[in-house]
Amino acid sequence: MTKKTTRQYLKNWDWHVNRIVTSTEIDINEPLAAQKQRIAELEADPERWFKHYFPAYTTADPADFHKEATKRVLSNPDGQVAFFHP
């Protein structure tokens, strides 16, 4: 196995970021009131939020354990949660 260089890691990272940016539509003409309403609705439903902002990664409905993991992460103020696989 060859060792990756910093340049290779940065190139991979740039590709990854570009994939996310290009997969998410942004309506620059969306009225502020509509934008605030959309954001509030999405923040009330994290699974819809994922689908909206990361469509390239949410190709199927989340499993129950995904939903439970989301609840655990969002209910923990410092964002640190440990998960154990049996």
Whether this model's pTM surpasses 0.85: no
Give the whole-angstrom CA distance, residue 22 versus residue 67. 26
pLDDT of residue 27: 86
> In this structure, are residues 38 and 74 in contact, taking their beta carbons and an 8 Å threshold?
no
DSSP per-residue codes, the chain = -PPPPHHHHHHHHHHHHHHHHHHS---TT--HHHHHHHHHHHHH-HHHHHHHH-TTT--SPPPHHHHHHHHHHHH-TT--------
pLDDT of residue 2: 66
pLDDT of residue 24: 75
pLDDT in tens, 18-75: 887 787 778 889 999 999 999 999 999 999 999 998 888 888 999 999 999 899 888 9
